[in-house]
Amino acid sequence: MSQKYLTTGQAAIRCSVSPDTVLKWIRSGLLPARRTAGGHHRIDERDLERILIQPEAGKDVSSRQSPDRHFRYCWEYNGSGQLLDSCKECAVYLMRAQRCYEVAKFAPETIHPKTFCKKTCDECDYFMEVHGQTINVLVVTDDPELTDELKKAVISGRFNLEIADCEYTCSTVVNHFKPDFAIVDCSLGIEASRDITNHLVEDPRVPFVRVVLAANEGEFPNECEKIVFARLERPFGIVDINECIDDMMLERPNSK
């Protein structure tokens, strides 16, 4: 069987983290790597896939077992996974909206041409497939009290919740969870919050995730102002997350 070896930069792109993070995984023993004659690291692609599928032992990356959810955007559904030319100018795609039937309520037909709308939304095959599917929310925090609070509260909540406590666990969760919303707790520090936010926004595995930063005065990474959907004040809880999602479902388009 042929083996494919990746550079630290290629591995970083694959995981949507920085090359420095990949080096930290190697030095900690989490990610096996070999050295070239020139002293550069090379990573077996299979080892990288393994750590993405199997989160680091001892790390809290999930609040509960989330159900299978096969959500597709309308342009994926109508194009069988491909972006059709007829979708490229549609308001739904341009806004990076989560649900076309939400946009259809407000957008004029000139920007939402309803090319594939043969019936009313209630009768649409796509609507019937995705309507009522539970939203996926990822919270990135290393606050144990907040983690415990969210775990207890979400049992009867309206969304699936996963929790990651660092950049690495965030990447592994994204690999299987595909969040609609990601809330980054800025108590992680300005630099860590900035890096996690940038990687989420640029991650091709979740092209339309909506990122929220939870921060107090002085904690917010200002360079992320234009790429996040909203802010939350800390401390925050399940009620704040629910209200934030309600506010964002039809708000400004993703900057991605």
- Co-location of 118 and 172 in the same domain: no
Residue 141 lies in a domain: yes
- Co-location of 146 and 235 in the same domain: yes
Q: What is the mean pLDDT of residues 45-52?
A: 81
CATH assignment of the domain containing 146 = 3.40.50.2300
pLDDT given at position 98: 65
- Report pLDDT digits (tens) over 186-209: 999 999 999 999 999 988 778 778
Whether the Cβ atoms of residue 137 and residue 183 lie closer than 8 Å to each other: yes
| Spatial distance between the Cα atoms of 130 and 126, rounded to a whole number of angstroms | 6
| Spatial distance between the Cα atoms of 91 and 80, rounded to a whole number of angstroms | 19
Q: Which helix (H) or strand (E) holds 35?
A: strand 34-35
Half-sphere exposure of 169 (CA within 13 A, CB side): 19
pLDDT given at position 192: 93
- Co-location of 126 and 203 in the same domain: no
- Number of neighbouring beta carbons within 10 Å of residue 232: 19
- Co-location of 98 and 173 in the same domain: no
- Report pLDDT digits (tens) over 234-249: 999 988 998 888 777 6
- Co-location of 191 and 159 in the same domain: yes
| Sequence-ordered list of residues with C-beta below 8 angstroms from that of 135, at least 6 positions apart, any chain | 158, 159, 160, 180, 181, 245
Label residue 175 by pLDDT band (50, 70, 90): confident
- Co-location of 96 and 44 in the same domain: no
Range of the domain at 177: 135-248
Q: Which helix (H) or strand (E) holds 12?
A: helix 8-15
Pairing of β 210-214 and β 230-232: parallel
Q: What are phi and psi of 163, to 5 degrees?
A: -125, 135
Helix 8-15 vs helix 45-53: crossing angle, to nearest 10: 30
CATH assignment of the domain containing 49 = 1.10.1660.10
Q: What is the mean pLDDT of residues 38-62?
A: 69
DSSP bridge pairs for 45: none
- Co-location of 83 and 18 in the same domain: no
Q: Chain-wide mean pLDDT for the chain?
A: 81
| Spatial distance between the Cα atoms of 160 and 158, rounded to a whole number of angstroms | 7
Residue 67 lies in a domain: no
Most confident segment among 27-36, 60-69, 93-102: 27-36
Q: What is the mean pLDDT of residues 30-46?
A: 87
- State how many domains the chain has: 3
Residue 169 lies in a domain: yes
Most confident segment among 49-58, 156-165, 191-200: 191-200
Residue 58 lies in a domain: no
- Co-location of 149 and 217 in the same domain: yes
Residue 62 lies in a domain: no
pLDDT given at position 60: 43
pTM as predicted: 0.62
- Report pLDDT digits (tens) over 72-123: 778 888 888 778 888 888 888 887 676 788 787 777 777 888 888 877 888 8
